[in-house]
A = this chain, B = another copy of it.
C-alpha cells in the first residue's frame, strides 16, 4: 500500500503557524519524519490561506523537496494553485483532485493532461455526493473513461470513492468498501485512494474506527491511503492487513518491518 503523509496541512494549528512564519525547519522536519516512517508522497495543503494559497504551496513544495526524495501530493481544488505548483515541483506529484463536477473538471483537465503527474479522481458529480457503491462506481467509471480518452494512463489515476460518516448512515462503510472492490476489479489498472477520518465523524474513539476501516480497505484492494504515517499503530495494522489479504508475498514486508522495530 502506498501512503500519502497528511501532516503538512494548514488546518493543523502548528502547520498553519509554521506556514505563516515561513518556518522552513519545522516543515522540513515534518516532511522528513513522514518519509522516514514510510510515506511515499508528502501532502502539501495551504487551503486556509485564502488569497495567498498559491505562494504558500510554492514555498511548501520547495521546502519539502529540499530535504525529502518523495514527490508531493498537491492538495488544492484551485487550478491556479495546482498549475503554479506543477511548474516548480520536481518529478511527478499527485494532484488532489479532479472530479466529475463540470466546473472543476473543465478547469483541471488541461492541467492534468498537460503535465507529468498523477491525479486523484474524486467520486463527486454535479448531482452531489454519492450514496451507494453503485453511485460511486458509476461516477468513477465515467471519470476514468473520460481521463483515459484524454490520454491519462490508468496507472496515473487514483480513484477516491469518497468516505462518508457511518454515524449518518449504517451502510456508508460497506458501500464505500464495495465501491473499492468494484473499481479495483472492473476498472483494472487504476488505483484507489482515500482519507480515512471522515468515516468516524460524529462518533467517539475515532482512531479505533479509522484504523479498522483502513484494515478493511486493504482487504478490498485499496492501494493508497492519505494518513498520518507517524501513527505507528495504524501503520502496523496496515502491514498486518496486507499479510492477511494475501498482498505481502512470503510476509516479507511484514517481517522486514518487524525486524526494523516498526510493528511495536
Contact = CB atoms under 8 A, between A and B. Distances in A.
Interface string A205-219: 100110011011001
Contacts of A244: 166, 173-174, 199, 209, 212-213, 216
A241 B263 CA distance: 21
Interface string A233-245: 0001100110111
Given A204-B258, A263-B204, A248 B212 contact: no
Majority secondary structure of chain A interface residues (helix, strand, loop or mixed): helix
Interface stretch (A52-60, A68-76, A249-257): A249-257
29 contacts: A166-B243, A166-B244, A170-B246, A170-B248, A170-B250, A173-B244, A173-B245, A174-B244, A177-B219, A203-B254, A204-B255, A204-B263, A205-B236, A205-B240, A205-B254, A208-B236, A208-B237, A208-B240, A208-B263, A209-B240, A209-B243, A209-B244, A212-B237, A212-B240, A212-B241, A213-B244, A215-B216, A216-B241, A216-B244
